[in-house]
Chains A and B, each alone.
Chain A
Amino acid sequence: MSEARFAHAINRALDDALAADPSVLLLGEDIANAGGTFAVTRGLLDKHGPDRVIDMPIAENAIAGMAVGLALGGFRPVVEIMFMDFMTLTMDALVNQAAKLHFMFGGQSAVPMVVRTQHGGGLNAGPQHSQCLEAWFAHIPGLKVVVPATLDDAYALLRSAIDDPNPVLFVENKALYPMKGALSDAPPAAPIGKARIARAGSDVTIVSYGAMVHQAMAAAEQLAGEGVSAEVIDLRTVQPWDEAAVLASLAKTHRLVIAHEAVEAFGVGAEIAARMAQIGFDELDGPIMRVGAPFMPVPFGRGLEVDYMPSAARIVEAVRATDV
Chain B
Amino acid sequence: MSDRASSGAGAPIVMPKLGLTMAEGLIAEWKVAPGEAVSAGQVLFVVETDKISNEIEAPADGTILSLLAEEGATVAVGAPVATWTGPGQGTGGTEQPPAPLSEPVGAPPVAAPARGERRLSTPFARRLAQQAGIDLADVGGSGARGRIKARDVQAAIDRRTTAPAVSAPAPRGRDLRALIAARVTRSKAEIPHFYLSADARFDALAALRREVNADPSSPGKLSVTAFLGAAVGRALALHPEANGVWRGDRVEPLDAIAIGIAVEAPGGVMAPVVPLGGGIHDFASALDAAIERARQGRLGAADVGAAAIGISNVGMFAVRSLTPIIDPDQSFMLGVGAPRAAFRADENGAPVAVRKVTLTLACDHRAIDGAAAARFLATIVELIEHPVRLLLPIRS
Give chain A's interface residues, CB within 8 Å of chain B.
254, 281-286, 323-324
Contacts and interface: CB of A to CB of B under 8 A. Distances in A.
B125 interface: yes
Interface string B151-164: 10000000000000
Please give me the 5 A-B residue pairs with the lowest Cβ-Cβ distance, nearest first: A324-B144, A285-B124, A282-B127, A285-B150, A285-B122
A323 B150 CA distance: 10
B147 interface: yes
8 contacts: A254-B150, A282-B127, A283-B127, A284-B124, A285-B124, A285-B150, A285-B151, A324-B143
A324 B124 contact: no
A285 B127 CA distance: 10
A284 B123 contact: yes
Query: Which of B124, B126, B144, B151 is the most central at the interface, judged by chain A CB atoms within 10 Å of its CB?
Result: B124
Contacts of A324: 143-144, 147
A283 B147 contact: no
Contacts of B124: 254, 282-285
Nearest to A321: B144
Query: Which of B122, B126, B144 is the most central at the interface, judged by chain A CB atoms within 10 Å of its CB?
Result: B122
Nearest to B153: A285
B368 to A, nearest CB: 52
A64 to B, nearest CB: 44
Contacts of B149: 285-286, 323
B144 A285 contact: no
Contacts of B122: 284-286
A98 B144 CA distance: 49
A217 B324 CA distance: 57
Contacts of B143: 286, 323-324
B123 A283 contact: yes
B209 to A, nearest CB: 51
B147 A282 contact: no
What does DSSP make chain B's interface, helix, strand, loop or mixed? Answer: helix
Given A283-B123, A285-B123, A323-B149, 16 more contacts: A254-B124, A254-B150, A282-B123, A282-B124, A282-B126, A283-B124, A284-B122, A284-B123, A284-B124, A285-B122, A285-B124, A285-B125, A285-B149, A323-B143, A324-B144, A324-B147
Interface string B232-245: 00000000000000
Nearest to A324: B144
Interface in B88-136: 122-127
Nearest to B151: A285
Categorize the interface residue count of chain B. Answer: 10 to 19
A281 B123 contact: yes
Contacts of A283: 123-124, 127
A281 B126 CA distance: 11
Contacts of B144: 324
Interface in B127-186: 127, 143-144, 147, 149-151
B176 to A, nearest CB: 25
Contacts of B147: 324
Contacts of A286: 122, 143, 149
Contacts of B123: 281-285
A282 B124 CA distance: 5
Interface string B28-50: 00000000000000000000000
B131 to A, nearest CB: 10
Nearest to B150: A285
Nearest to A284: B123
A281 to B, nearest CB: 5
Contacts of A254: 124, 150
Nearest to A282: B127
B174 to A, nearest CB: 20
A324 B122 CA distance: 10
A283 B149 CA distance: 11
B315 to A, nearest CB: 46
B141 to A, nearest CB: 11
Contacts of B150: 254, 285
Interface in B262-296: none
A323 B144 CA distance: 9
Contacts of A284: 122-124
A214 to B, nearest CB: 29
B154 to A, nearest CB: 10
A324 B147 CA distance: 8
A229 to B, nearest CB: 14
B123 to A, nearest CB: 5
A282 B150 CA distance: 11
A282 B126 CA distance: 8
A228 to B, nearest CB: 13
Nearest to B126: A282
A288 to B, nearest CB: 11
A254 B149 CA distance: 10
Interface in B176-206: none
A283 B123 CA distance: 7
Nearest to A280: B123
B136 to A, nearest CB: 14
B294 to A, nearest CB: 32
B297 to A, nearest CB: 25
B143 to A, nearest CB: 5
Nearest to B122: A285
A50 B127 CA distance: 63
A284 B147 CA distance: 13
B211 to A, nearest CB: 57
A285 B121 CA distance: 8
A281 B151 CA distance: 17
Contacts of A282: 123-124, 126-127
Query: Which of A281, A285, A323 is the most central at the interface, judged by chain B CB atoms within 10 Å of its CB?
Result: A285
A323 B147 CA distance: 10
A286 B126 CA distance: 12
A321 to B, nearest CB: 10
A282 B151 CA distance: 15
A205 to B, nearest CB: 13
